[in-house]
Amino acid sequence: MPEGDTIHKIARAMQPTLIGKRVEQLRLRNRGAVDAVKGETIESIEAVGKHLLVRFSGNWGLRVHLGMKGRWRRYSNNTRRPAALHASVLLATADLAYVCTSARHAELVRRSDLERAVRELGPDLLRPEPDLDEVLRRARAAGNGDRAIGELLLDQSVASGIGNVFKSEVLFIKRIHPWMKTRFIDDERLRSLYAKAGELMRANVRPGRRVTVELTMRRSADRRLDPRLWVYGRIHQRCLVCGTHVDMDHQGDQARSTYWCPTCQKATRGPTEH
């Protein structure tokens, strides 16, 4: 599932192969071929939370949000690639092409509109030193305190990058029940929650599968059985700390999947983090 760490990895992979190159072709699923940027130079590629931003030398920028199923693939010119008509985005230079499929959102906008959209997002938690004071300010301004913390963490206008996986994982690590109202979480604890989420995501901007479980845990003889995540995707499996079966339910207006341990994450403030 693409979250902030995934988008930052994609941006890092694209930057050395695309920046400074001229656009030979840009196609968008909802517009077809876009001639406005043909021949323009790709000036920058940036990840901001879950958004991938590509800026061209003219007055245009591309913004892509993968959603839950989106995926980017790279193809050389002598490699067969999917038909552009079925792609969310096709961005090609003289040497190669990047094809994005099943994106939730992909649009070409004026660069001024692109910068405006970025300003509406909360601080990117994958930055080396995210502005946690601004995150805390936005978090307290978002609602009247009756909002569940599991829903708040997914609000990209508060902080950028957190999705279902890191939401569930950081709440487990901090021993906070996903449905706890934010008014019951003091500023220090709320700030540390976002700080830990950023730490987890930054640690996963590397090759390989996503991992949140400490590597110091005992390793099984069969590496395939080693848990990578504390609770996410582990419904009815035993909690790695207390042995209680992990639970899952859908949360918020968008029914986002949330996993937690009923014992380690009691509805009250509960035990301290491990």
Average pLDDT estimate for 225-250: 91
- 216, pLDDT greater than 70: no
* Residue 268 pLDDT greater than 70, yes or no: no
- The pLDDT of residue 272: 41
Q: Judge whether residue 247 has pLDDT over 50.
A: yes
Q: 113-122, 176-185, 264-273: lowest mean pLDDT where?
A: 264-273
Q: Is the CB of residue 88 less than 8 Å from the CB of residue 101?
A: yes
pLDDT band, very low/low/confident/very high, at 274 (cuts 50, 70, 90): very low
CA distance 241 to 139: 30
What's the whole-number average pLDDT of the chain?
Answer: 89
Q: Tens of pLDDT along 114-155?
A: 999 889 999 999 999 999 999 999 999 987 788 999 999 999
At residue 238 the predicted structure's pLDDT band, cuts being 50, 70 and 90, is very high
Residue 62's pLDDT band (cuts 50, 70, 90)? very high
Nearest alpha carbon to residue 10 among 56, 59, 48, 60 = 48
Looking at residue 127, what is its pLDDT? 93
Q: How confident is the model at residue 58 (pLDDT cuts 50, 70, 90)?
A: confident
Going by pLDDT thresholds of 50, 70 and 90, the confidence category of residue 2 is confident
CA distance 182 to 169: 17
Nearest CA to 233 out of 216, 248, 220 is that of 248
Q: Does domain 132-260 have CATH number 3.30.9.80?
A: no
Parse the chain into domains and list their residue ranges: 4-120, 132-260
In Å, what is the CA distance from 74 to each residue of 14, 92, 93, 97, 101?
Answer: 9, 10, 11, 6, 12
Band (pLDDT 50/70/90 cuts) for residue 270 is very low
Alpha carbon distance 112, 73 (integer Å): 28
Q: How many C-beta atoms lie closer than 10 Å to residue 33's C-beta?
A: 12
Measured between alpha carbons, how far is 207 from 106 in angstroms, rounded to an integer? 25
Instruction: Specify the pTM.
Output: 0.88
CATH of region 4-120: 3.20.190.10
pLDDT score recorded for residue 68? 86
